[in-house]
């Protein structure tokens, strides 16, 4: 086997190989070239740091490395069906960890889909430990004629730059997908600041596409987390009635109860994992 840097391949080749790794996956999430390009840009994936494993000119597997200040993120790791049971996964992980080590990152992060036990065990073997379980929530568009859960005092609409400022002041550590850098790269975010008559306060940032609401982040700055979250989302979906909503990598906490009250359900879960690179 030979390990090559991913930037030696075209995006078409990488997309084709990646899709083949996901043919029989638990939650297949195929990509096209445009999506992969967007993915690398939004999540700061470095193709020179990412790897492709080949044997006799055949791609056996690949893995990508997101790079930000002091930390990195392993993503899109996959082994093609004919590359399995050959140690390809370990080869990819060795190569990515080595590249991460060369750049003095403090921590390496990744997520594994809950239930993907072979991948989970692989990551454990390489020193990754579990931090939290994250939810990918979905909400099909639905008419909502019910009043908001809590009485609203004021709603303020904010633009992308203001949304980034809000996102920079979150109480809890965001997952890579939801970090400020990601949201900054995603562009065209909007935000709603919702103030309740009972003193509760919260905001939501999101991207409103024609067909989907994505990049949904809710923060409660005062009041009951579940009630404020539900009210904020009520406002969001009253303004955007027709789009399918996707909220990725939400912590399983009281706010998730608020999401569920507004019609979100648990599509699937990811396990976030971390490796301390300084050990």
Name the site residues for another protein (rule: CB under 8 A): 19, 22-32, 34-35, 138, 140-141, 211-212, 242-244, 265, 267-268
Burial label, 141 (beta-carbon count in 10 A; 0-12, 13-18, 19+): middle
CB of 48 to another protein, least distance (A): 25
Cβ neighbors of 260 (< 8 A, separation 6 or more) are none
Order across the sheet with 2-5: list the strands. 2-5, 45-55, 58-68, 71-79, 107-113, 265-276, 129-139, 244-251, 212-222, 201-208, 190-196, 152-158
Measured CA to CA, the distance from residue 261 to residue 227 in angstroms comes to 9
* Residue 19 or 150 having the CB closest to another protein: 19
CB of 20 to another protein, least distance (A): 9
* Residue 198 or 267 having the CB closest to another protein: 267
CB of 12 to another protein, least distance (A): 13
* Residue 59 or 220 having the CB closest to another protein: 59
Burial label, 29 (beta-carbon count in 10 A; 0-12, 13-18, 19+): exposed
* Residue 134 or 167 having the CB closest to another protein: 134
Helices 11-21/33-42 angle, 10° precision: 100
CB of 177 to another protein, least distance (A): 16
* Residue 30 or 48 having the CB closest to another protein: 30
CB of 267 to another protein, least distance (A): 8
Is residue 190 classed as helix, strand or coil in its secondary structure? strand
* Residue 9 or 109 having the CB closest to another protein: 9
* Residue 28 or 48 having the CB closest to another protein: 28
CB of 145 to another protein, least distance (A): 17
Is residue 33 classed as helix, strand or coil in its secondary structure? helix
CA of 169: how far to CAs of 69, 182, 220, 221, in Å? 18, 15, 11, 10
Two tokens, residue 236: 């969001």
Measured CA to CA, the distance from residue 266 to residue 68 in angstroms comes to 29
CB of 54 to another protein, least distance (A): 22
CB of 53 to another protein, least distance (A): 23
Measured CA to CA, the distance from residue 139 to residue 123 in angstroms comes to 31
* Residue 49 or 269 having the CB closest to another protein: 269
């Amino acid at each position: 086997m030979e390990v090559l840097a991913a930037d030696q391949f075209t995006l078409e080749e990488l997309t084709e190989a990646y899709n083949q790794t996901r043919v029989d996956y638990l939650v297949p999430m195929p990509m096209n070239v445009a999506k992969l390009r967007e993915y690398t840009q939004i999540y700061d994936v470095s193709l020179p740091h990412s790897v492709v494993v080949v044997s006799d000119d055949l791609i056996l597997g690949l893995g990508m490395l997101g790079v930000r200040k002091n930390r990195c993120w392993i993503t899109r790791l996959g082994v093609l069906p004919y590359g399995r049971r050959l140690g390809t996964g370990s080869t990819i992980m060795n190569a990515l960890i080595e590249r991460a080590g060369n750049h003095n990152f403090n921590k390496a992060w990744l997520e594994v889909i809950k239930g993907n036990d072979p991948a989970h065990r692989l990551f454990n073997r390489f020193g990754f430990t579990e931090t939290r379980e994250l939810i990918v929530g979905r909400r099909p568009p639905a008419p909502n004629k019910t009043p908001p859960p809590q009485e609203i005092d004021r709603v303020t609409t904010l633009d992308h730059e203001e949304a980034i400022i809000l996102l920079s002041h979150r109480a809890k550590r965001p997952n890579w997908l939801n970090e400020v850098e990601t949201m900054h790269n995603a562009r065209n975010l909007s935000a709603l600041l919702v103030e309740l008559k009972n003193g509760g306060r919260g905001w939501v940032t999101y991207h409103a596409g024609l067909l989907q609401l994505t990049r949904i982040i809710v923060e409660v700055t005062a009041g009951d987390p579940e009630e404020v979250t539900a009210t904020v989302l009520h406002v969001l979906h009253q303004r955007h009635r027709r789009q399918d909503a996707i909220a990725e990598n939400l912590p399983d906490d009281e706010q998730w109860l608020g999401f569920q009250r507004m019609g979100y359900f648990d599509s699937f879960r990811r396990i976030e994992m971390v490796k301390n690179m300084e050990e």
